[in-house]
Amino acid sequence: MNFPDDFVNKIVLGDCAEVLKEIPNNSIDCVLTDPPYNIDLAYHKMDDKQSEEVFWKFIEGVYTDLYRVLKDKCHLTFTCSQKQVWIYRPMLEKMGFVFRHMGVWHNPKRKAGSYPGQWAYGWEPILDFTKGEGFRKLNNGNSVGFTDVWIEEEPAGIMHPAKRPVKCWQNLVELMSDKNELVLDPFNGSGTTPLVCQRTDRRYIGIEIDAGYIKMTENRLGEFDDYKGFE
């Protein structure tokens, strides 16, 4: 593979742990992603019920490479399960990332009774780190109208077990990057990251292990060619 021709504005088929090795150091302006949670979701290719040891070894390897490819002071932002917050922070800080903030995505469809005998899990953390001690300021001016709590349902009609909210994802990519900059999603999934990059004039790289999900992303990108905004 040749960077950038074989990567930029494309979804690369492969295991991100291997594909990331082909991306040069300090070449990415922003990472926005949704890694697997290891909670037995029904992905086609990804085993989402590994032993904790195997899962976290894989995650640590991926995030080590994300640190390498991300530019200094730039943002790594991702969702995780509530219980994983206390694992991610020390692991990433040991690599050199600096914790900046935790936001919240609340899905109003996750109501009481959704998980019998358990809490409803109505929200997911959105963790934000930067590479190194300095940090790039967010594109939020004086913060008027800005929030760190997004209330949004999952996009309808997308056959993927972990769909990300489109308006929230657009807000995030606009906060942490500028037009024409390069945004990476190593766990492309249903393609929300490249979708919002396309609509906000960012360049993107998606990495996805499942060819079927790549086709899903390409279909979504095509459907939004003439779409000018979000209602």
Three-state secondary structure readout of 67-100 = HHHEEEEEEEEEECCHHHHHHHHHHHHHHCEEEE
Structural domain including 150 reads: 10-223
Q: What is the pLDDT of residue 39?
A: 76
Domain-embedded: residue 228: no
Domain-embedded: residue 231: no
Domain-embedded: residue 52: yes
* 117 contacts: CB under 8 Å, gap ≥ 6: none
The mean pLDDT values, 10 residues at a time, for the chain of 231 residues are 93 96 98 89 75 95 98 98 96 98 90 67 94 92 76 87 90 96 96 96 96 93 57 33
CA distances from 115 to 23, 79, 104, 162 (A): 40, 20, 19, 17
pTM for the structure as a whole: 0.92
| Chain mean position to CA 61 | 16
What CATH number is attached to the domain comprising 93?
A: 3.40.50.150
Cis peptide before 165 (omega within 30 of 0): no
Domain-embedded: residue 230: no
Q: What is the CA radius of gyration of the chain?
A: 17
Domain-embedded: residue 3: no
Contact yes or no for 146/209 (Cβ under 8 A): no
Domain-embedded: residue 206: yes
* 215 contacts: CB under 8 Å, gap ≥ 6: none
Q: Which two tokens stand for residue 137?
A: 């300021």
**CA dist., res. 186 & res. 35, Å (int):** 8
Sign of the torsion formed by the C-alpha atoms of 74, 80, 83 and 88:
negative
Domain count, the chain: 1
Domain-embedded: residue 133: yes
| Chain mean position to CA 117 | 30
For 220, list phi and psi in degrees, rounded to 5: -65, -40
Sign of the torsion formed by the C-alpha atoms of 79, 141, 230 and 199:
negative
List helix spans (H) across 70-210. 85-95, 166-176, 192-199
**CA dist., res. 12 & res. 149, Å (int):** 31
Q: What is the pLDDT of residue 111?
A: 63
Q: Which two tokens stand for residue 45?
A: 């290719």
Domain-embedded: residue 34: yes
